[in-house]
Amino acid sequence: MLLLPLKLLPWRRRANAAAAAGQALLHQRAPYLSESDDDPPFTRIADRQPRAASKKKEEEREAQGGGIRPPEPARSDLPFDFRYSYSETDPAWRPIGFREPTRFSPFGPGRLDRPWDGVSAAAGRVGREGAASREEVLGEPLSEEEVAQLVERYRHSDCSRQINLGKGGVTHNMLDDIHNHWKRAEAVRIKCLGVPTLDMDNICFHLEDKTGGKIIYHNINIIILYRGRNYDPKQRPQIPLMLWKPLAPIYPRLVQNVVDGLTFEKTKELRNVGLNSPPLMKLTRNGVYVNVVERVREAFKAVEVVRLDCSHVGSSDCKKIGVKIRDLVPCVPILFKGEQIILWRGKVNGENSV
């Protein structure tokens, strides 16, 4: 059999020639690539100089203090001291220390014209203009028919104008939320849960005092706050917002090793009696505690020591409950152990009576 040499067709190139042509084309498209950097699965992006920021944007950022500090601090004419919580803190309580430097204001650096002392931002001297303006905003009292219409509109659980009030109580930023709802609604529904429900009268007082509104409905833990006839959203008070929650100050110890007026043996005996007695009530987390104070008062008519079961409530809320009950009943907390609160009614017939 005679083997004839294969004739190379004009359209068929040699392998070496095709590779050389592809290499030349690659270097022609990307001349900055070297042979050592040639990696077909990836493409090299040419280095570009970053665009210079426009002068107008630089001037705006400098005017705003880099986007963090405003050109001048905010000013508010509200006649009360700014606190994180108005209903859960008492100005008479004096802290013995702080968990963070007092120079760190929760309103942000240079954002408020009031100095922060670690607990509150004190207000300046304000006349009686605030009280007069509140009466003008409320206008004439609502009639019974108008109150009934507003209550029927806002008292239901599916109301879109609702604010939830938790263990923080009436907080500072909540005031701004209420005024935001008042832009488009005559009233706002407030649902209260947790520790603040022990003293609903205190919550009602601070809501009316700090917002300037009027409570037209109060049932157990539900409150409807009315804005007033002459309320104008464009003339609402300026409320600077807190950017973060400040750390709680350090207060004196709530329970002493030995109760005042008792010996160590008597204090230990009362604690053991309380731990071994059946609980008066079992409190749940974020529950409604509107009847706790009254039940403790009734129990103290028959027994000397009362135990409250606060399982799953949390140690922090447990102590807050004890402090409120101490001031409202009044009584003496003698032990917090295992989320159990032991309360002593005090010496009712002695000289050092509670």
Tens digits of per-residue pLDDT, 293-350?
Answer: 999 999 999 999 999 999 989 888 999 999 999 999 999 999 999 889 999 998 776 5
Asked whether residue 335 falls in the same domain as residue 280, the answer is yes
d(CA 291, CA 289): 6
Quote the domain boundaries for residue 292.
Answer: 264-344
Q: Is residue 269 part of a domain?
A: yes
Check whether 206 has a pLDDT greater than 70: yes
Q: Is residue 298 part of a domain?
A: yes
Check whether 128 has a pLDDT greater than 80: no
Q: Is residue 186 part of a domain?
A: yes
Q: Is residue 37 part of a domain?
A: no
Asked whether residue 245 falls in the same domain as residue 303, the answer is no
Q: Structurally, how many domains does the chain consist of?
A: 2
Asked whether residue 237 falls in the same domain as residue 280, the answer is no
CATH of the domain at 226: 3.30.110.60
Joined together, the tokens standing for residue 168 give 């923080």
Band of residue 3 on the pLDDT scale cut at 50, 70, 90 = low
pLDDT of res. 42: 59
Mean pLDDT for 95-118 is 90
Contact 304, 267 (CB under 8 A): no
pLDDT of res. 350: 54
Asked whether residue 240 falls in the same domain as residue 105, the answer is yes
Q: Is residue 354 part of a domain?
A: no
Q: Is residue 49 part of a domain?
A: no
Instruction: Spell out the residues 6+ positions from residue 140 whose beta carbon is closer than 8 angstroms to its own.
Output: 229
Asked whether residue 220 falls in the same domain as residue 75, the answer is yes
pTM for the model: 0.75
Q: Is residue 270 part of a domain?
A: yes
E strands, the chain, are: 82-83, 120-121, 162-165, 187-192, 214-219, 222-226, 281-282, 305-309, 332-337, 340-344
Asked whether residue 281 falls in the same domain as residue 147, the answer is no
Asked whether residue 186 falls in the same domain as residue 323, the answer is no
Question: Which residue, chain included where needed, has tokens 């022990």?
Answer: 198
Check whether 169 has a pLDDT greater than 80: yes
